[in-house]
């Protein structure tokens, strides 16, 4: 029972998923703190410069029946999401994909199946050989058959 659990846990997808979740959670905390400590005050400074009010954003939040809508929190969440997604992609996903490509480079891809045209031409060739019109390796065309030309015997050199 424990061996089966160990095999399940050690599968590549489960381990990758666990690592991704842990790294994502840890990195989200870092990005959230970055946006709260740095980007949110920076946005507040820009709004202060634009509005000219020293209240900062206190007067800029739209209100409906006395309830303020904190759009800065939404911008903060969007920035946090984008930074987290970009960092995870460039620090985890992209390097893993490159590593997988390098591993596959040594492997030869399986040969492609012949197309329908090649299969049909092979059948026609085999039918002509079976009917006695040509021998394998002989180069004669359909025009030779129509004109009644006979193959010339090979000449000695």
Statement: residue 1 has pLDDT above 70: no
pTM: 0.42
**What pLDDT was estimated at residue 151?**
63
DSSP category for residue 63: E
Residue-range domains of the chain with CATH:
12-105 (1.10.1200.120), 116-147 (no CATH)
Statement: residue 73 has pLDDT above 70: yes
**In this predicted model, what pLDDT tens digit does every residue of 100-143 receive, in sequence order?**
788 777 777 677 888 888 888 888 888 877 776 556 556 666 65
Least confident of 20-24, 50-54, 71-75, 110-114: 50-54
Statement: residue 83 has pLDDT above 70: yes
The burial class, CB within 10 Å (0-12 / 13-18 / 19+), for 35 is buried
**What pLDDT was estimated at residue 59?**
56
Q: How far apart are CA 142 and CA 136, in angstroms?
A: 15
Q: How far apart are CA 70 and CA 33, in angstroms?
A: 18
Mean pLDDT of 70-75: 76
pLDDT-derived band at 145, boundaries 50, 70, 90: low
**In this predicted model, what pLDDT tens digit does every residue of 29-65 receive, in sequence order?**
887 888 788 877 887 788 778 877 655 455 566 677 7
Radius of gyration of the chain (CA): 36
Where is pLDDT greater, at 115 or 69?
115
């Amino acid at each position: 029972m424990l061996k089966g659990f160990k095999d399940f846990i050690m599968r590549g997808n489960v381990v990758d998923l666990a690592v991704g979740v842990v790294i994502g959670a840890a990195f989200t905390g870092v990005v959230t703190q970055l946006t709260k400590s740095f980007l949110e005050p920076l946005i507040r400074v820009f709004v202060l410069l634009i509005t000219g009010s020293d209240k900062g954003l206190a007067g800029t939040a739209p209100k409906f029946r006395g309830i303020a809508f904190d759009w800065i929190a939404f911008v903060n969440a969007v920035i946090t999401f984008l930074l987290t997604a970009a960092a995870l992609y460039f620090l985890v996903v992209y390097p893993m994909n490159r590593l997988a490509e390098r591993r596959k480079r040594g492997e030869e891809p399986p040969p492609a199946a012949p197309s329908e045209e090649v299969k049909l031409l092979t059948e026609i060739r085999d039918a002509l050989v079976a009917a006695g019109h040509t021998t394998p390796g002989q180069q004669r065309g359909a025009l030779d058959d129509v004109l009644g030309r006979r193959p010339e015997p090979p000449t000695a050199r």
